């Protein structure tokens, strides 16, 4: 259902891989709400995913860019403005990867070359995109940037290893750049801390299904799915939230404020 919340707005969505990804859902919702969008991802991800299907569905353009490469980011931002016909009103940063997790390397044994890549891809890429947009004056006044985080930035989840560090850095960049961009162009920068979500990326984490079930039992509303996360992102892109910035916003069905639910206690009591 469309309320035209983004009518006339122009946006960039990063990280859409397939129909299970949050970025994919955000792109669909943004289009439904009246926005004109550009889709971008790293060239290798474009070859692996189905982004051209999404582009056709949303009348958008795909512009490849490695989010760790400033030159490619600059080129993508310039080409995006040309396609969109003006400055960018909103940007979704949905980029994360950990070579250590992919190779099942535990936190005490981290490969530091992989660790550097995790931080660069999953956190510094946000700084690079914001810095490039800042220098190019690519964002509209009062624009909105949203990135996706996870509660492991504040609390330890043993299986999340170096991605927890990356999310902590990501949230710090949200606060620090949010201040500077707010003063400069009233651009808002926020992170959404999402429930465990059954995406292609999330499902690759060892023990994910067990933890997903655990979180589902503990959260009073259950886990927030990708579609509801997309709805939340749309509100943050809209003018309804024009005074919200530098925040890490929990979107987890209440999990982060629940110690132990009755459902979880009942499950352990049965065993």
Q: What percent of the chain has pLDDT over 70?
A: 96
Quick one: pLDDT at residue 31?
Answer: 98
State residue 174's pLDDT score.
Answer: 98
Out of 47-51, 146-150, 190-194, 198-202, pick the least confident.
198-202
- Which residue is catalytic, options 150, 181, 212, 255? 150
Vertex 178 angle, CA 196 and 232, to 5°: 35
CB-based contacts of 112: which residues, under 8 Å, 6+ apart?
none
Confidence at 204, pLDDT banded by 50, 70, 90: low
Residue 236 makes CB contacts below 8 A (sequence gap 6+) with 144, 146, 188, 190, 192, 244, 249
Question: Which residue of the set 114, 115, 160, 181 is catalytic?
Answer: 160
- Check: pTM over 0.75? Answer yes or no: yes
- Tell me whether residue 150 is one of the annotated catalytic residues: yes
Give the HSE-up count for residue 14: Cα atoms under 13 Å, Cβ half-sphere: 27
* pLDDT score of 47: 77
pLDDT digits 0-9 by tens, 221-250: 999 999 999 999 999 999 999 999 999 999
Architecture of the CATH domain 10-270: 3-Layer(aba) Sandwich (3.40)
| Whether the predicted pLDDT of 150 surpasses 70 | yes
Is 160 one of the annotated active-site residues of the chain? yes
């Amino acid at each position: 259902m469309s309320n035209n919340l983004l009518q006339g707005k122009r946006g960039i969505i990063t990280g859409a891989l397939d129909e299970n990804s949050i970025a994919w859902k955000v792109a669909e919702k943004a289009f439904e709400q009246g926005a004109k969008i550009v889709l971008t991802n790293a060239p290798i991800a474009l070859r692996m995913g189905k982004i051209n299907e999404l582009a056709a569905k949303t009348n958008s353009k795909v512009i490849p860019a490695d989010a760790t490469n400033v030159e490619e980011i600059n080129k993508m931002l310039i080409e995006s403005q040309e396609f969109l016909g003006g400055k960018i009103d909103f940007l979704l940063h949905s980029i994360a990867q950990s070579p250590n997790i992919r190779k099942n390397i535990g936190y005490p044994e981290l490969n530091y070359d992989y660790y550097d890549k995790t931080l660069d891809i999953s956190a510094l890429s946000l700084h690079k995109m914001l810095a490039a947009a800042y220098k190019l004056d690519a964002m509209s006044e009062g624009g909105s940037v949203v990135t996706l985080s996870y509660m492991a930035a504040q609390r330890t989840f043993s299986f999340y290893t170096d991605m927890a560090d990356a999310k902590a850095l990501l949230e710090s960049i949200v606060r620090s750049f949010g201040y500077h961009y707010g003063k400069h162009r009233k651009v808002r920068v926020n992170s959404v801390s999402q429930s465990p979500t059954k995406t292609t990326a999330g499902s690759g984490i060892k023990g994910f299904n067990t933890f997903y079930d655990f979180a589902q039992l503990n959260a009073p509303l259950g886990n927030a799915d990708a579609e509801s996360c997309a709805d939340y992102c749309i509100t943050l892109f809209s003018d309804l939230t024009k005074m919200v910035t530098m925040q890490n916003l929990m979107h987890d069905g209440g999990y982060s404020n629940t110690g132990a639910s009755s459902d979880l206690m009942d499950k352990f009591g049965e065993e």
